[in-house]
């Protein structure tokens, strides 16, 4: 069954065409700068990469273009868009409405719309993606897969903020957590490897956006992101955890509006803010090797924050069977994995430096034989989860 996966953002969209039954990736790509100028990067299989630069004024034109490329003579992977049997959409915020993926109905769209105040940039773009697909492929079912859904198993003691309770009941103020599809995929792969009942796993999803998740018996019990994806770890451009007192202090000192302070914490902080070099960790690691002091501090701060979450989640679960590293930094940076694990031997966490430095594709163990806690690198695959959920929900149609 061919499933089209769509992740629609404000000025970009990512897509994949997957055979959900065999997990075969037919094609994938990214359209950027929609409404500005337009770039489409399309990949067929693992090798063939094509780039198109042409005006793409709207998301509808972007999706039409992608569908044309999928069926076009030179670039075609399918004969007709009629071969697409279902569409899976990545939706950022499902609030407390959605504890799992669901077939899109008018009521589902209405609920995603109600959640716009909690995800003002993402949910409108996600809804637009759904509506365009409904228009362009009216007979094809759409499925919504939520970034927040996996964390809906968190209980109140782990998701409430210590503020007046009425703000939870009246204004939905609570921790929701994000990257749920990735935390689910990685922890599920790890459960299969561990082959153990009652597993205690900590997933470190370290990319441009980063979060840690404590997963007990396959269920999220706590995660570092909160009401929004701003809480928790130090990220590419996001500050992560910060004293709330910083906000009024800076607003007054720098005469900032609430939008400007949000912009400061979301886009100017994190790795970029501390290092002053880049939000791309590779560049900061390079500068640190060349002796740049602020880059060195950035890396230490980043790893200390991850360590703090690892230790607190191990404490929360009363131990940890496995720690998993995933996403751009987690999968590729042996330096960050080493710095995070270093010093945690007292908890039974022993990294094997040789295994850690080997670059290999696929799931791999990087802990010493003697390590009580296993350490793994597990490449994430959110799109595959979306494809499988979409397949499972629509196969009887």
Which residues are at the interface with ligand ADP (CB under 6 A)? 207-209, 236, 280-282, 285, 327-329, 332-333
Shortest Å, Cβ 396 to ligand ADP: 33
Q: Which residue, 75 or 332, is less far from ligand ADP as judged by CB?
A: 332
Residue closest to ligand ADP, measured at CB: 328
Residue count of the chain: 397
Shortest Å, Cβ 236 to ligand ADP: 5
CA-nearest of 146, 280, 282, 295 to 208 is 280
Q: Which residue, 207 or 240, is less far from ligand ADP as judged by CB?
A: 207
Q: Which residue, 38 or 328, is less far from ligand ADP as judged by CB?
A: 328
Q: Is 100 helix (H, G, I), strand (E, B) or coil?
A: coil
Shortest Å, Cβ 208 to ligand ADP: 4
Handedness of CA 367, 369, 372, 378 (dihedral sign): positive
Q: Which residue, 61 or 280, is less far from ligand ADP as judged by CB?
A: 280
Q: Which residue, 126 or 199, is less far from ligand ADP as judged by CB?
A: 126
Shortest Å, Cβ 327 to ligand ADP: 4
Shortest Å, Cβ 172 to ligand ADP: 25
Q: Are 351 and 366 in contact (CB under 8 A)?
A: yes
φ, ψ of residue 364 to 5 degrees: the values are -150, 150
Whether 147 is catalytic: yes
Shortest Å, Cβ 209 to ligand ADP: 5
Long-range residue pairs from 385-388, CB within 8 A, at least 24 positions apart, any chain:
385/145, 385/181, 385/184, 385/185, 386/3, 386/5, 386/88, 386/89, 386/90, 386/101, 386/143, 386/145, 386/181, 387/3, 387/5, 387/16, 387/18, 387/20, 387/23, 387/88, 388/20
CA-nearest of 54, 42, 151, 58 to 96 is 151
Q: Which residue, 129 or 199, is less far from ligand ADP as judged by CB?
A: 129
Q: Are 120 and 230 in contact (CB under 8 A)?
A: no
Of 37, 73, 110, 147, catalytic: 147
Per-residue b or e along 190-206, where b marks 16 or more CB atoms closer than 10 Å to that residue's CB? bbebeeeeebbbbbbbb
Q: Which sequence positions are flagged as catalytic?
A: 147
């Amino acid at each position: 069954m061919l499933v089209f996966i769509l992740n629609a953002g404000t000025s970009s969209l990512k897509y994949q065409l997957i055979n959900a039954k065999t997990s075969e990736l037919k094609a994938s790509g990214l359209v950027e700068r929609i409404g500005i100028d337009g770039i489409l990067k399309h990949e067929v299989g693992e090798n063939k990469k094509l780039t198109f630069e042409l005006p793409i004024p709207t998301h509808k034109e972007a999706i039409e273009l992608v569908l044309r490329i999928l069926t076009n003579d030179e670039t075609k992977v399918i004969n007709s868009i009629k071969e697409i049997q279902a569409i899976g959409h990545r939706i950022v915020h499902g609030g407390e409405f959605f504890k799992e993926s669901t077939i899109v109905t008018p009521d589902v769209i209405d609920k995603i719309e109600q959640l716009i105040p909690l995800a003002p940039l993402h949910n409108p773009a996600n809804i637009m993606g759904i509506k365009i697909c409904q228009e362009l492929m009216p007979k094809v079912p759409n499925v919504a897969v939520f970034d927040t859904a996996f964390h809906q198993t968190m209980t109140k003691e782990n998701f409430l903020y210590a503020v007046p309770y009425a703000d939870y009941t009246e204004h939905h103020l609570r921790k929701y957590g994000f990257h749920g599809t990735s935390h689910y995929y990685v922890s599920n792969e790890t459960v299969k490897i561990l082959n153990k009942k009652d597993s205690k796993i900590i997933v470190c999803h370290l990319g441009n956006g980063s979060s840690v998740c404590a997963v007990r018996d396959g269920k999220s019990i706590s995660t570092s992101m909160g009401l929004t994806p701003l809480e928790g770890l130090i990220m590419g451009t996001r500050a992560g955890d910060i004293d709330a007192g910083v906000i009024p202090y800076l607003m007054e000192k720098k005469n900032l509006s609430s939008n400007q302070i949000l912009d400061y914490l979301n886009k100017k902080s994190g790795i970029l803010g501390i290092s002053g070099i880049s939000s791309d960790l590779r560049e900061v690691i390079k500068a640190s090797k060349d002796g740049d002091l602020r880059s060195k501090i950035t890396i230490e701060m980043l790893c200390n924050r991850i360590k703090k979450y690892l230790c607190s989640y191990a404490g929360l679960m009363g131990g940890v069977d496995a720690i998993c590293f995933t996403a751009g930094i987690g999968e590729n940076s042996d330096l960050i994995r080493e710095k995070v694990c270093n010093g945690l031997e007292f908890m039974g966490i022993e990294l094997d430096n040789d295994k850690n430095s080997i670059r290999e594709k696929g799931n791999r163990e990087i802990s010493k034989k003697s390590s009580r806690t296993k350490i793994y690198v597990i490449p994430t695959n959110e799109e595959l989860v979306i494809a499988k959920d979409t397949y499972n929900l629509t196969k009887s149609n």
